[in-house]
Structure 1
Amino acid sequence: MGNGVKQIFARRWHVFYGLLIRACRIKPVRLSLVWLSIYCVGQLSLIVLCTLLPLPERNDKHDFAKVVVDSRGEPLRVFADSNGVWRYQVALDDVSPLYIEALLTYEDRWFYWHRGVNPFALLRGAGQWLINGRLISGGSTLSMQVARILEPHPRTFVGKARQMFRAIQLERTYSKQQILTLYLNYAPFGGPVEGVQAASYIYFGKPAKQLTHAEAALLAVLPQAPSRLRPDRYAQRAEQARNKVLARMQHFNVWSQQQVNEAKQEPVIARHISAPKTAPLLARRLIQQYPQQQVIHSTLDKNLQQALETIAQDYALTLPQKTSTAILVLDNYTMAVRAYVGSANFDDLTRYGHVDMITANRSPGSTLKPFLYGMAIDEGLIHEQSLLLDTPTDFAGYRPENFAQDFSGPVSTRQALQRSLNVPAVQVLDALGPQAFYARLASAGLTLKLPAEAAPNLSLILGGAAASLEDLTATFAAIGRGGVTRAPVYIQNQTPAPERTLLSAASAWVVGDILRGVALNSAHRQTVIAANTPRIAFKTGTSYGYRDSWVLAASEHYTIGVWVGRPDGTPTAQNVGRENAVPLLRKTLALFSDAQLAPPKRPAGLSRELICWPLGGLKQLQSAAECLREKSAWLLDGAAAPTLREPLMAQWSSYKLTLAVNAKGEQVLPQCMASAQAGATQNITLAVWPRVLEPWLPQKWRRAHLLPALAANCKHAVRDTGQQLVLEGISNNAEYYPAPGQSNITLQPSVRGASGKVEWFVNGVWVAATVGSSHSLELAKLAVGKHTLSVMDAAGRFDEIVFYVGG
């Protein structure tokens, strides 16, 4: 400092010292009055100034970014304020004490003692400036810094005076804790980042409550020069500034030497500033749903969410262009949503990433079948091993076909659901009633969207309605939750929706047990796994035209829904649930432990019992003649439902027949009973299979073998009624050879006496159907060897012949 400046400073000090000496010569009473007058005038002036110049008000609803956080409070998505600033609101208790210690020790050690302005700090700063010619340490308190944040001012004497006035005003208005909280929320930390909570998440990926010594020291000094010390850009400068804070913490014995040394060893590694954008579609949905909330505490698990977003994005790259995916994960214990991947990639416009496919209504394909079978079990219509029909069947004009366009004949409930067969499902829905099925789903929270002015019908079970992945997954959760479900929970402390019963606990477990019997890791949809193999209950679905492929899976702990398709509804070649949705499910399940995928425990009321086909009842209640095939089934309360009737079967009909036979054991029909000898007949009881199953039954179970031969006096009665269906054009047990010079043979059989449509089968495999007054079929390219040709009409009548093709 030059001699001139020193002389000026000396003269001013002598003047001030002289005034002080003169004041001391005043009598104590007078001195007290002087000071009291000065104090009163000062307070009155302060009151007037505070009235004329009120503190700038902060609008808490608009000053902070809207933030959607996960279940642990970590930001998922940030919606910046109107100025593009990322500022997360934080309370004093939610900030690490290490940061508070570093901040107060470095910035304002006398924070809790001064009234907004620290005169000693100002004098120290002024003296250092006068002596050294530059600013060594600032005299601003934290209150003054908050005042500058609330009301920025130019770095002039007037500006400094205004800042001091605002600091005093702050101290008169707010408590120390409130002023400190203002600093924690509004201090600048570089770029668009303001507030210690935002800085901690942006730079270190953690809440401010979890800051280490080194991180706390860095964030304490960063607001001094936020642009120059940004750790993501200038790590070396930031480290030097941090170490300066650490040295002061040790100097004032706030932190031990060991703590400081360990903190200095920690490198400055900060993430580049970027707005969190995890779960963007759910965040958008929640912001729209709760527009008044600054911080929305979702139920998501950020780690799981990010892992599934990566999996979905990578998996979509293996699919055709414009194809998207969606994944929803529910915690069955609380119905909290743990992961919400609404599209394959939010930023990929070519895959319609902005379209939320979790809420979109699409055809559910076969995903409703587990609910149908569970309801039918509860209603006593079927049990786990009931005999169902997988045959060409007409349900009052509705003729469903299987996905593979073949038929298997007699199947059990377990087989029908595991193989997702269409015809048996329609048979069960026909027995339960489409309206009842629709209503029970709606009462459980799944309201299917029907075409305009349409009523529930048999096509419901094959995807003839629409539903969202959200609703389907929540409903499928009943499989793992003992038959009950409720709406998914998206935010914490949300009042849960009431529980709704879809199925009984017993039927839910039986359906889950059936679905757990299908291999998840097999490419073949009909592969069934052993009972002791680790498994999860899952059901696939494919909508008409391959527009949507689905898979729903449930354990006791979690329910997962997966969708794959094009958001614009365009058909995609071979977009099948087993081929496209299941692989994505397998990748999802790999993130869970075996314990998390364990099945629910079997409830009370279930027992393993022997039942018999074709009647379906308990074996112990049937004779040997009635029990043609024995099966072991899970039954509710020991009750076994009888086999469902065929669609065209009369209500009074039964598969348990009572027949009159004569002394020779021949069947005597009622219309020829008069010609039989009086008292020469007796009644016998036996079981028969449904007529439509004849092409798939072995000879011993066909009616021609099971039923006694007709008495001689009754044969004319059958001929007169015209009830016979006859195959013609091929002789039974005949052998046919190709014409000379030809390698193949062509046969043209026909049918006489048919009623309605005729189904044709070669070697038990459906090949064609014919309609009209005449029925014929051309058979070509038959392999050398034995062949069985079978036909069945709409009345269930059946005929069959065996022939041979020679080489």
Structure 2
Amino acid sequence: MTSLSRLRPGRRFCLAGLAGFAIAAVALIAIDRADRAYPPPLDAARELSTEVVDRDGLLLRAFTTAEGFWRLPVRLEDVDPDYINMLIAYEDRRFRSHFGIDPVAIARAFMQLVANGGRVVSGGSTITMQLARLIEPRAGRTVLAKLRQMARALQIERRLSKDEILTLYLTLAPYGGNLEGVRAASLAWFGREPAKLALAEAALLVALPQSPEARRPDRNPAEAETARNRVLERMQRAGLIPESEIARASRSAVNSGRLPMPDLAAHTAEQAQALRPQEQRLSLTLMHGVQSRLEELALETASRLPPKLSLAMVLADGKTGEILASVGSTGYHDAGRSGAIDMTRAVRSPGSTLKPFIYGLAFEDAIADPETLIDDSPADFAGYRPRNFDRGYMGEVSLREALQMSLNVPAVRLLEAVGPQRLLSRLKRGGVTLDLPPGGAPGLAIGLGGAGISLRDLVQLYTAFANEGRAHALRDGVYPLAPTRLPHPVLDGKASWRVGEILSDVAAPQGAPRIPIAYKTGTSYGYRDAWAVGFDGRHVLGVWVGRPDASPVPGISGIATAAPLLFDGFVRAGLKAADFPHRPDGLVVRTRGQLPFALRKFGPRGGPGLASSARDSAPSIVYPPEGARVVLRERNSGGLSPLVIKLQGGAGPYRLIANGIPVERPSRRKTINWTPDGAGASTLTVMDGQGRAASVNVFIDADGF
């Protein structure tokens, strides 16, 4: 057998090459198998914070990971490109060209290490190697650990593109405390998403991951500023940023406080996460800006409310049923007001807010017209004796006036005619079932709040007035496949329009902005709940104020407590007002004189009505009495609080004349609020609709306590 040494040189070289190739092939196969057997733990590193976003993808609220980290998903296109360029230039300028390891950087780092007596001057880690360390952290910085990072970097580069590597790095990099990823860092340190960063902010975010705890701005602002400026200096030496911009950025102060993470729509977000725990991104129908502004309004209002009172607001698109904003309390973390309870879903007595549907049924049945007269005087309905909120009676009024003034007796007369069961049936068409007292058939009291309903359901019913009588089921995205269209109308189109037209002419509460909305208020029995629901041609806003434990709150009312918040809410929401629906074709609007005889007056069960004898007496002022000395509190904003003037007798409308000057506009109510210009003697005169008058002389004192 011929030995290898006896072969010609050419053949020996060929055999050696084949052997080398075989060894290399075996090595590559072994490496490939090892790579497959021990892959980098990329999937384990992909656990992210659950984020709740609005209809446009804007972050409403986020939840920490199981380990307690804020780790928000990020896309490169949503990060400031100047920051990304700065990061690559500072950390790994050959990132786009190397294969996970940068031999040039490693050689430079080794030479600097030798030249400086073993002191580390610069690292040779690439962004891919840093990512390897993030997904598989190890204690210590040994040579073996560095070699392992290199091996992992090669594995990562085989599996991911450069953009994917950079995205994962920007998701996992530490920025101090429990902040991981550039989005969490930008939100915590600057209060906004990283789509657009100032130069100083971008430099700080580049510097933080190298030593996140030592450079935390909230604990070590001086160290953070030094590290930031070091990044800026290198950018200047590299010629990437003009010197003038570097100087300006270096003078910027580092924000030394950590900001809270976005926490909007907390109640809705909590429910969405509880019902869909496997989803990492939860999309809601809410609008970020509208939600934020209404929550600010709730917080501001809380400072003016008595202790333990809360509030709730629901704003919906009446054309689609989508909830645009939902505020469940004065603040989710406001324990003193039971802020964690979502009062938009709590079942409470609705007061007078269901009256519009009673009137709508009467119009639909053609047993009454808005100009039909109806008697508002004491009445007994088989032992049920409703009284008006102010405990007075107006006598004979039109249905238009009765609804606008929310008179109780006329509403009960109409409900007796249309039937309580029929009202409940129509409300069910709107997707709402009232919570009735146990064991009892529906009675006339349901028209004045003798049943339970949630604010969300009430707003859902009121969407009928923006849709020609057909309500839309509300949805907020918590149940993504929830139905929206209800098959049957609550009211026919003509009746719905009549109700909306009447409510659109109700005067705004005192001091409220004048905006084109229709609205109805309600106050539950015992002053437990104050309601206001308003709408334009598209949007419906509902407001509730009260105590979550249902305790009485003397003095609250729909008109005084909830209605001002309703008007402020519409203004604060910032939505473009939508025109009310056009009058339906074929609907004839008539004056009282043009009505058929049977519709001119409404009596029991549609029969002839009787005028109240209260109209035959002249008006009198029962409060304040003649010669009274009245003490009024001075307001913080200046001026005096209003004086409530109470009347008896006469026929509306009533006009108040103070010191010879007419004030306010005529009112059919027998209570009139008057705000004096200042302390001193005043003569108050009230003139009724027939020209009869009554006067008293009083003296106003101011009390500044």
Q: CA deviation at 1:32?
A: 5.3
CA separation in 1, counterparts of 2:84 and 2:214? Answer: 23
Q: 1:498 to 1:302 in 2, by over 3 A?
A: closer
CA separation in 2, counterparts of 1:534 and 1:92? Answer: 44
CA separation in 2, counterparts of 1:696 and 1:410? Answer: 9
Q: 1:608 to 1:439 in 2, by over 3 A?
A: closer
**Unpaired stretches in structure 1, ≥5 consecutive residues:** 1-24, 627-639, 656-689, 700-761, 766-807
Q: 1:38 to 1:213 in 2, by over 3 A?
A: farther
In the alignment, which of 635, 640, 646 is matched to residue 604 of structure 2? 646
Q: CA deviation at 1:82?
A: 1.5
| Mapped pair 1:448 → 2:434 | yes
| Mapped pair 1:145 → 2:125 | no
Question: 1:572-605, CA deviations, whole angstroms, 9 ceiling, x for partnerless residues?
Answer: 2122212222233344344255x73464243342
Over alpha carbons, which structure has the higher Rg? 1
Answer with 352-361 or 215-224: which moved more.
Answer: 215-224
Q: CA deviation at 1:310?
A: 3.7
Q: CA deviation at 1:365?
A: 0.6
CA separation in 2, counterparts of 1:509 and 1:267? Answer: 59
Q: How does 1:672-711 map to 2 (within 5 A)?
A: 690=609, 692-693=610-611, 695-696=613-614
CA separation in 2, counterparts of 1:261 and 1:29? Answer: 64
Q: Is the 8 A contact 1:189 1:195 kept in 2?
A: yes
2:611 aligns to what SS in structure 1?
helix
Q: Is the 8 A contact 1:557 1:596 kept in 2?
A: no
In the alignment, which of 543, 546, 555 is matched to residue 565 of structure 1? 546
Q: 1:232 to 1:304 in 2, by over 3 A?
A: farther
Q: CA deviation at 1:293?
A: 1.8
Q: Determine the structure 2 residue equivalent to 1:398.
A: 384
Q: Is the 8 A contact 1:204 1:271 kept in 2?
A: no
Q: CA deviation at 1:37?
A: 4.8
Q: Is the 8 A contact 1:556 1:596 kept in 2?
A: no
| Mapped pair 1:96 → 2:77 | no
CA separation in 2, counterparts of 1:38 and 1:301? Answer: 64
Q: Structure 1 counterpart of 2:564, which letter? A: P
Q: How does 1:231-242 map to 2 (within 5 A)?
A: 231-242=217-228
Q: CA deviation at 1:44?
A: 2.8
Q: Determine the structure 2 residue equivalent to 1:4.
A: none
Q: CA deviation at 1:263?
A: 4.8
Q: How does 1:328-339 map to 2 (within 5 A)?
A: 328-339=314-325
Q: CA deviation at 1:507?
A: 3.2
Q: 1:195 to 1:263 in 2, by over 3 A?
A: same
CA separation in 1, counterparts of 2:158 and 2:316? Answer: 51
CA separation in 2, counterparts of 1:31 and 1:231? Answer: 61
**Unpaired stretches in structure 2, ≥5 consecutive residues:** 1-9, 618-647, 652-705
Q: CA deviation at 1:644?
A: 3.9
Identity %: 39
CA separation in 2, counterparts of 1:465 and 1:179? Answer: 60
Question: 1:237-282, CA deviations, whole angstroms, 9 ceiling, x for partnerless residues?
Answer: 3344334434444555555667656655654436514343333222
Q: Determine the structure 2 residue equivalent to 1:551.
A: 532
CA separation in 1, counterparts of 2:590 and 2:461? Answer: 32
In the alignment, which of 595, 600, 604 is matched to residue 580 of structure 2? 600
Question: 1:391-411, CA deviations, whole angstroms, 9 ceiling, x for partnerless residues?
Answer: 233334433222222322222
CA separation in 2, counterparts of 1:609 and 1:473? Answer: 28
Question: 1:194-246, CA deviations, whole angstroms, 9 ceiling, x for partnerless residues?
Answer: 01111122222222223344433322232111112223444443344334434
Larger RCO: 1 or 2 (CA < 8 Å, sep 6+): 2
In the alignment, which of 109, 112, 120 is matched to residue 96 of structure 2? 112
Q: Determine the structure 2 residue equivalent to 1:682.
A: none
Q: Is the 8 A contact 1:332 1:477 kept in 2?
A: yes
1:485 aligns to what SS in structure 2?
coil
Q: CA deviation at 1:553?
A: 1.3
1:467 aligns to what SS in structure 2?
coil
Q: 1:291 to 1:435 in 2, by over 3 A?
A: same
Question: 1:542-591, CA deviations, whole angstroms, 9 ceiling, x for partnerless residues?
Answer: 11111111111112343221111111111221222122222333443442
Answer with 256-265 or 567-576: which moved more.
Answer: 256-265
Q: Is the 8 A contact 1:330 1:559 kept in 2?
A: yes
Q: Is the 8 A contact 2:417 2:604 kept in 1?
A: no
CA separation in 2, counterparts of 1:27 and 1:237? Answer: 64
Q: CA deviation at 1:367?
A: 0.4
In the alignment, which of 33, 40, 53 is matched to residue 25 of structure 2? 40
Q: Is the 8 A contact 1:486 1:498 kept in 2?
A: yes
CA separation in 1, counterparts of 2:427 and 2:170? Answer: 51
CA separation in 2, counterparts of 1:522 and 1:606? Answer: 37
Q: CA deviation at 1:465?
A: 0.9
Q: Is the 8 A contact 1:506 1:602 kept in 2?
A: no
Q: CA deviation at 1:156?
A: 0.8
Q: What count of residue pairs does the alignment treat as equivalent? A: 608
Q: Determine the structure 2 residue equivalent to 1:511.
A: 499
Q: Structure 2 counterpart of 1:56, which letter? A: P
Q: Determine the structure 2 residue equivalent to 1:365.
A: 351
Question: 1:701-720, CA deviations, whole angstroms, 9 ceiling, x for partnerless residues?
Answer: xxxxxxxxxxxxxxxxxxxx
Q: Determine the structure 2 residue equivalent to 1:224.
A: 210
Q: CA deviation at 1:462?
A: 0.8
| Mapped pair 1:78 → 2:62 | yes
Q: Structure 1 counterpart of 2:64, which letter? A: A
Q: Structure 2 counterpart of 1:376, which letter? A: A
Q: Determine the structure 2 residue equivalent to 1:129.
A: 113
Q: Is the 8 A contact 2:285 2:322 kept in 1?
A: yes
Q: Is the 8 A contact 2:319 2:466 kept in 1?
A: no
Q: Is the 8 A contact 1:384 1:510 kept in 2?
A: yes
Q: CA deviation at 1:142?
A: 1.3
Q: CA deviation at 1:122?
A: 1.2
Q: How does 1:211-610 map to 2 (within 5 A)?
A: 211-249=197-235, 251-252=237-238, 254=240, 263-264=249-250, 267-269=253-255, 271-491=257-477, 494=480, 497-500=483-486, 501-522=489-510, 534-592=515-573, 596-597=576-577, 599-605=579-585, 609-610=589-590
Q: CA deviation at 1:284?
A: 1.4
1:545 aligns to what SS in structure 2?
coil
1:551 aligns to what SS in structure 2?
strand
Q: Determine the structure 1 residue equivalent to 2:141.
A: 155
Q: 1:493 to 1:443 in 2, by over 3 A?
A: closer
Q: Is the 8 A contact 1:70 1:298 kept in 2?
A: yes
Q: 1:26 to 1:250 in 2, by over 3 A?
A: farther
Q: 1:26 to 1:367 in 2, by over 3 A?
A: farther
Q: 1:698 to 1:523 in 2, by over 3 A?
A: farther
In the alignment, which of 34, 37, 40 is matched to residue 49 of structure 1? 34
Q: Is the 8 A contact 1:323 1:565 kept in 2?
A: yes
TM-score for the superposition, normalised by structure 1: 0.69
CA separation in 2, counterparts of 1:609 and 1:142? Answer: 75
2:526 aligns to what SS in structure 1?
helix
CA separation in 1, counterparts of 2:267 and 2:18? Answer: 70
CA separation in 1, counterparts of 2:185 and 2:650? Answer: 72
CA separation in 2, counterparts of 1:493 and 1:427? Answer: 40
Q: 1:396 to 1:259 in 2, by over 3 A?
A: same
Q: Structure 2 counterpart of 1:561, which letter? A: G
CA separation in 1, counterparts of 2:400 and 2:169? Answer: 66
Q: Determine the structure 2 residue equivalent to 1:195.
A: 181
Q: CA deviation at 1:450?
A: 1.3
Q: CA deviation at 1:413?
A: 1.3
Q: Is the 8 A contact 1:105 1:248 kept in 2?
A: no
Q: 1:367 to 1:184 in 2, by over 3 A?
A: same
TM-score for the superposition, normalised by structure 2: 0.78
